[in-house]
Amino acid sequence: MTDTSSIMTKKRSYGGLTTATVAPWVICTVILLVLPYVFQSNSALTIMNQMAITIVFALAYNMLLGQGGMLSFGHAVYMGMGGFMCMHVMNWVEYENIPLPLPLLPVIGGLFGMGMATIIGSFSTRTAGTVFAMISLGIGELIAASSVIVVAFFGGEEGVSGDRTYGLPVFGYEFLTKIEVYYLTAGWLVLSALLMYLFSRTPVGRMANAVRDNPERAQFLGYSARWVRFYSFCASGFFAGVAGGLFAINFEILTEENLNLVTSGSILLITFLGGVGFFFGPIIGAIVFTLLQSVLSLQTELWQLYVGALFVLTVMYFPGGLAGVLMMHVVPYKLGKLGTLVVPYIKTLIPAAIGILGLASFCELMFHFKHAAVGEHDMSLFGIAFSTHSPIPWVVIVAVTVIGFWLAKRNSVELRETWGNANVMTPSKEGGAQ
């Protein structure tokens, strides 16, 4: 009884900026500012820029998928169109001497992306389900196909390229170096992410969730589900366009690749991998995917196989994505039982990791055995050189894989048990918690 009355009388403060809401933003901004001092090489900067662009794009995509319940198979169109427009503007700035500072370019990309979204959204957002998905797929294919037809805008097969350094210098910066571009991109990342977050807190953003959950009920609350979807779609198009503008600034070239279904598919994959249920999910997805893409692809030709397997496993076992996996630990944390999970985690995950590496090694060995040049029998894995035509590496790899998985499976029983205990309040503690 005292419990409920305390809730009733407790004054809630609305809209105040609290440490809990501001801290993540401040921390992330600081990390973005410091990162270039930690990773100074040019290739690291390229990867980080790529990551930032993907984050903006994935967050924009999640405005549809996670918050609006719209599955789009053609979202690359809005990023690509924004990017192409920015390349043209960049060239006009160069040839016509238009005094446009480079940092404003993404706004143009955004507006163009939003313009496209306004046109397409006017008919595609009528329903959310299969019809929306099919229209997005059709439009995606259509625009990608027109890239070789409308050469004046898309530049045909070689795309459109330009030079970002002709813009109006901003405080003396002409964006010649990677580091300057990094800070420009990072600035836009923080700004776009913040705006997208705030959008989700507005009436139309809240209703996007309502329409996702139950479009019919939303209609009976005075909202047209179609208009709510349309506004989300336009906003998403804007930020996708911003991502396109950032891409144009970073790579100074856009091609058909930026529009096609592969790009659309991978952003779906990234967003889902990160987790559609939480605002920060796509950020994690974009970081992990970009790392896999850039780091793993240097190590092995089979990286796409591994990314694909990761995606399938995520969809099957963790539909909440990586963010969902992280947030699963909030309950044990609140109950103060996170510590009990450490040992079972180590005992399960390390053998599992060994098993996975073993399985990957087997794939690599197989691939090398089948596809290496004739007579080329030597390969090395994890710094160990051996011949693919001797039985020893095969036996070792299979044994390591089997033992790894067997141990993981055996120890997972304990993990599951601890997990169950960590998610319920122990009776003795319950009295104290009240």
Q: Which amino acid is at 147?
A: S
Q: Which is nearer to another protein, 8 or 373 (CB)?
A: 8
Strands 253-254 and 384-387 come out as unpaired
**Other Cβ atoms closer than 10 A to 182:** 20
Cα 318 to Cα 304, 342, 343, 364: the distances in Å are: 20, 20, 22, 27
Give the CB-side neighbour count of residue 102, counting CA atoms within 13 A. Answer: 30
Among 202, 387, 390, 423, binds another protein (CB under 8 A): 202
Cα 244 to Cα 76, 176, 179, 324: the distances in Å are: 9, 20, 19, 28
Nearest distance from C-beta of residue 123 to another protein, angstroms: 17
- By CB under 8 A, residue 207 contacts another protein: yes
Among 190, 210, 331, 357, binds another protein (CB under 8 A): 210
**44-52, 224-232, 261-269, 376-384 -> range binding another protein (CB under 8 A):** 224-232
Q: Which is nearer to another protein, 14 or 382 (CB)?
A: 14
**86-94, 194-202, 240-248, 296-304 -> range binding another protein (CB under 8 A):** 194-202
Among 214, 294, 300, 412, binds another protein (CB under 8 A): 214
Query: Is 132 in contact with 215 (CB distance < 8 Å)?
Result: no
**103-111, 177-185, 200-208, 388-396 -> range binding another protein (CB under 8 A):** 200-208
What's the CA angle centered on 342, arms 399 and 419, to 5 degrees? 95
Q: Token pair for residue 377? A: 């029998």
Q: Token pair for residue 201? A: 């807190």
Among 99, 172, 203, 427, binds another protein (CB under 8 A): 203
User: Taking Cα atoms as reference points, which of 163, 256, 192, 180 lies closest to residue 52?
Assistant: 192
- By CB under 8 A, residue 333 contacts another protein: no
Query: Is 434 in contact with 427 (CB distance < 8 Å)?
Result: no
Cα–Cα distance, 422 to 298 (Å, whole number): 40
- By CB under 8 A, residue 25 contacts another protein: no
User: Taking Cα atoms as reference points, which of 201, 9, 191, 204 lies closest to residue 103?
Assistant: 191
**1-9, 103-111, 335-343, 375-383 -> range binding another protein (CB under 8 A):** 1-9
3-state secondary structure of 148: coil
Among 20, 34, 149, 221, binds another protein (CB under 8 A): 221
Q: Which is nearer to another protein, 86 or 235 (CB)?
A: 235
What's the CA angle centered on 60, arms 87 and 140, to 5 degrees? 65
Among 2, 19, 41, 222, binds another protein (CB under 8 A): 222
Residues 228 to 257: which contact another protein by CB under 8 A? 228, 231, 235
**80-88, 140-148, 226-234, 356-364 -> range binding another protein (CB under 8 A):** 226-234
- By CB under 8 A, residue 201 contacts another protein: yes
3-state secondary structure of 253: strand
Among 206, 389, 410, 429, binds another protein (CB under 8 A): 206
- By CB under 8 A, residue 423 contacts another protein: no
Q: Which is nearer to another protein, 153 or 223 (CB)?
A: 223
Query: Is 258 in contact with 79 (CB distance < 8 Å)?
Result: yes
Cα–Cα distance, 418 to 221 (Å, whole number): 44
Number of residues engaging another protein in binding (CB under 8 A): 35
Q: Which is nearer to another protein, 334 or 410 (CB)?
A: 334
- By CB under 8 A, residue 53 contacts another protein: no
Q: Which residues bind another protein (CB under 8 A)?
A: 3-4, 7-8, 12, 14-15, 198-199, 201-207, 209-210, 212-214, 216-225, 227-228, 231, 235
